Amino acid sequence: MLFFTLFKESIWFALTALRVNKLRTVLSLLGVTIGIFAIISVFTAVDSLEKKLRDSVASLGEDVVFVQKWPWTFGSEYPWWKYINRPQASPSELDFLHHRLKSAQSIAFEVSAKHLIQHDNTTIDNVSILGVSYEYDKVTNFEFAEGRYFAENEAEGGRDVALIGSSIAEVFFPRMNAVGQEMKVFGRKVHIIGVMKKQGESILGNSTDTQVILPYNFIRGFVDTRKENANPTILVKAKTGIGNDQLKDELTGLMRSIRKLKPAVEENFALNETSLISKGFDGLFGIVGLAGWVIGGFSILVGGFGIANIMFVSVRERTNQIGIQKSLGARNYFILMQFLAESILLCVLGGLLGLALVYAGIQIADKGFDIQLSLSGANIILSITISVLIGIISGFIPAYSASQLDPVEAIRMN
């Protein structure tokens, strides 16, 4: 009961201070408001970007190992000279792994190219075109809006069939079903047998919405799949219950055998996995998050001094009232908690104003610039927690000084 009485009185005193000294209070809260706005804005942007990146990475497959020429590494110095003369992955290596690799559930081959595609008088330039082997749909996350994947005889025989992304279907066939229609790729007619489900934008550029997927044995007639820009890749998906480390161990031994590498010779291939990208992003987001703390921290520090100042002024203005309360039996902790609660309330109010500005910014970004951001519950809790801590730190010394006043001296003071 005592706590609720104290809390009620503290709210009343704080609201009275706001009403009586509007300009002073607003200026004092401004630092906390700006600090919370800066920190939560940075964290909201980082969280949204991180979610998009991790979703894009996850779409590659967390249990998939990519056998390639170039390793996925992050850092200021990339030793490209070590890798430039490595051989590319090849279909013959895929066949060898198919017969020897025991820990794999599925294995596929992929090459890529950029080219224009046509339907009637409509042309789309610089389209991402993939040439894939039969088991590609079992290695990657594949969903169809309509149609189907390649049959084995279509993939192995290099038939003129294609899968297209939803964005391409919307441009070429806005009012009809795309499955069963034709379009031109590399100047050749291909039959569309499937439209992939809309995936949305991908920061890594691997969204299927703007892709055309053809059988590898078809695309190899038009693209030199051994060239660097074709990025030939073997994709290996582990069996259920088998981790990537075990799969990579077996892959390493088999690839060294295929390429006839002696025991002391370094591998001339890279075994990449999505965890390498995620670890690289962890460091990047850590730096951005630290920058957010530094930017917002200075504003919060200034805001904390502002709150401390207003609390000292509040103590001075209510010295007589404190003396009367203590003469009527109010304990020191009652006075301490009264002013401390007022400081916390003021800081929380500043934090809520900062959150309101963040929310307004999110709405403007969403509607004005089509940038999708979201204010997470974790960031809301973080902002309120910071506000409470600043209120405690800023208000403790003024509140403690008020609690130690002598009641007789306090009543005499004007």
Q: Report DSSP letters for 287-341, one per residue.
A: HHHHHHHHHHHHHHHHHHHHHHHHHHHHHHHTHHHHHHHHHTT--HHHHHHHHHH
Closest CA to 338 of 325, 327, 348: 325
Q: How far is CA 68 from CA 45, 94, 118, 296, 340, in A?
A: 33, 12, 31, 43, 62
| pLDDT tens digits for range 191-225 | 999 999 987 766 555 678 889 999 999 998 888 88
For the cut 90, the answer to whether the pLDDT of residue 110 exceeds it is yes
| pLDDT tens digits for range 135-169 | 998 888 778 999 999 999 999 999 999 999 999 99
pLDDT-derived band of residue 275, with 50, 70 and 90 as boundaries?
low
For the cut 90, the answer to whether the pLDDT of residue 131 exceeds it is yes
- CA dist 49 and 118 (Å) reads 34
pLDDT-derived band of residue 255, with 50, 70 and 90 as boundaries?
very high
| Buried-exposed string 308-330: b where 16+ CB fall within 10 A, e elsewhere | bebbbebbeebbeebbebbeeeb
- State pTM to two decimals: 0.67
Q: Where are the domains of the chain?
A: 2-56+279-412, 64-272
Residue 303: both structure tokens together = 């805001």
How many separate helices (H) and strands (E) can be counted in the chain? 14, 10
- CA dist 39 and 167 (Å) reads 37
What pLDDT is recorded for position 111?
A: 93
* Residue % of the chain over a pLDDT of 90: 25
For the cut 80, the answer to whether the pLDDT of residue 406 exceeds it is no
Q: Indicate the range of 186-195, 279-288, 350-359, 366-375 predicted with least confidence.
A: 279-288
- CA dist 322 and 320 (Å) reads 5
For the cut 60, the answer to whether the pLDDT of residue 407 exceeds it is yes
